Copies of this chain bind each other. A is one copy, B any other.
Amino acid sequence: MEMEIVEKITNGDRRAAAKLITLVENNFSQAQDILKKIYNYTGNALVIGITGPPGSGKSTVTDKITKILRGQGKTVGIIAIDPTSPFTGGALLGDRIRMQDLSLDKGVFIRSMSTRGHLGGLSQATQATVKILDALGKDVIFIETVGVGQSEVDIVKVADTVVLISMPGMGDDIQIIKAGIMEIGDIFVINKADKEGYERLATEIEMMLDLNQNKRWRPPVLKTIATDNVGIKELLKEINRHIEYLKESGELEQRRRESVKKEMFDLIQEQWKEILSTFIDNGFLNKIVTKIVKREEDPYTAVEKLSNILVHSYTKGGVKSDRKD
């Protein structure tokens, strides 16, 4: 069964890919056995991160670049990280709106990933999805994420090239937030550039970039009006120029190494979280918590003790990874 899915995906079977992504989201440890076999078929796609504050036009920019790439015969994967509502229970953005436009094209694979229900594992799930779309044969994979919040920034760090989108007139507060992720931008885009405040924002960004002198790559600051297709070709040109730079400078390999390290961190963390969860289920943790709430023990000492117990249970083979080998 596993080999069948692997074969299907590497032969471009979209439905098999979609199924595996769903498995990644719902039962990672089960998906992992298939992901191991897929890994050999990855590493060919270019991964581009698109990030920026809410409302800056990330989806529109991504869609417009995708259309140009399709015109050049390239296939595209889009992973949209969506904030979801607990009240509606699903992705509000993403798929549904976009489906109308791009999804009839078999050369484009769009997937929304919910930010809920992954615990800390959204990053892990996104990285696995990149691999699946890579194995599926997509030439370019976009990861679209709202550029606020540490976890969202972390997710986009796995990309080869990060495009940071902003827009004029968002006020000071949002600019400060943007500043927190400026260091990860390889290309800066000011979208909705016909709006008031463009000049000021462009100057601010250029000034911030001037302060950061130890980079061999000086991020360009581009101007787009994505809804009207203005500046999109130029953006794609700059993306290609950045990829060339990455390859020539050896930074592409360096980035991919960093990305592997990050993924290993994520995987180990998730593994330990899972082990921890089994302790919660059996009521053992509840007794400790009662002690802590009553101030009979402090949480730091409790964790030291618990951690020792966890390790012992692990060495006794209580963990999946032992059984699978």
- 11 new A-B contacts at CB < 8 Å, known A271-B307, A307-B321: A39-B300, A40-B295, A43-B295, A54-B148, A85-B208, A86-B179, A93-B173, A115-B180, A150-B151, A260-B299, A264-B288
Would you give the shortest CB distance from A319 to chain B, in whole angstroms?
Answer: 8
Please tell me if the beta carbons of B268 and A306 are within 8 angstroms of each other in the complex. Answer: yes
Asked if A267 CB lies within 8 Å of chain B CBs, one says yes
Residue of B nearest to A301 (CB): B36
Would you give the shortest CB distance from A204 to chain B, in whole angstroms?
Answer: 11
Q: Which residues between 266 and 314 of chain A lie within 8 Å of chain B, taking CB atoms? A: 267-269, 271-273, 276, 280, 285-286, 288-290, 292-293, 295, 298-308, 310-312, 314
Please tell me if the beta carbons of B264 and A285 are within 8 angstroms of each other in the complex. Answer: yes
Please tell me if the beta carbons of B180 and A83 are within 8 angstroms of each other in the complex. Answer: yes
- Residue in B42, B256, B289, B301 whose CB lies within 8 Å of A257: B289
> What residues on B are CB-neighbors of A40 within 8 Å?
295, 298
Residue of B nearest to A88 (CB): B179
Contact with B along A218-259 (1 / 0, CB 8 A): 000000000000000000000000000000000001001100
> What residues on B are CB-neighbors of A18 within 8 Å?
none
Would you give the shortest CB distance from A80 to chain B, in whole angstroms?
Answer: 12
Please tell me if the beta carbons of A298 and B35 are within 8 angstroms of each other in the complex. Answer: yes
Number of interface residues of A (CB under 8 A): 85
Would you give the shortest CB distance from A109 to chain B, in whole angstroms?
Answer: 22
Asked if A68 CB lies within 8 Å of chain B CBs, one says no
Interface residues of A (CB under 8 A from B): 32, 35-36, 39-40, 42-43, 54-55, 83-88, 92-93, 115-116, 120, 122, 146, 148-152, 171-174, 176-177, 179-180, 182-183, 208, 211-212, 253, 256-257, 260-261, 263-265, 267-269, 271-273, 276, 280, 285-286, 288-290, 292-293, 295, 298-308, 310-312, 314-315, 319, 321-322, 324-325
Would you give the shortest CB distance from A28 to chain B, in whole angstroms?
Answer: 10
Q: What are 11 A-B pairs at a CB distance below 8 A?
A: A36-B298, A39-B300, A43-B293, A43-B295, A55-B173, A86-B179, A146-B149, A150-B151, A261-B285, A267-B303, A271-B303
Contacts known (A253-B293, A260-B289); A177 close to B325, Cβ less than 8 A: no
Please tell me if the beta carbons of B146 and A148 are within 8 angstroms of each other in the complex. Answer: yes
Please tell me if the beta carbons of B300 and A36 are within 8 angstroms of each other in the complex. Answer: yes
Q: This chain: how many copies in the complex?
A: 2
Give the distance in Å from the alpha carbon of A37 to the alpha carbon of B322 in the complex. 38
Give the distance in Å from the alpha carbon of A85 to the alpha carbon of B321 in the complex. 40
Give the distance in Å from the alpha carbon of A40 to the alpha carbon of B292 in the complex. 10
Is chain A's interface secondary structure helix, strand, loop, or mixed overall? helix
Please tell me if the beta carbons of B179 and A212 are within 8 angstroms of each other in the complex. Answer: no
> What residues on B are CB-neighbors of A267 within 8 Å?
299-300, 303
Give the distance in Å from the alpha carbon of A97 to the alpha carbon of B268 in the complex. 41
Give the distance in Å from the alpha carbon of A271 to the alpha carbon of B269 in the complex. 10
- 8 A-B pairs with least C-beta separation: A149-B149, A39-B298, A85-B179, A304-B321, A54-B173, A83-B180, A55-B173, A267-B303
Would you give the shortest CB distance from A19 to chain B, in whole angstroms?
Answer: 18
The CB with the most chain B CB atoms within 10 A, among A42, A83, A93, is that of: A83
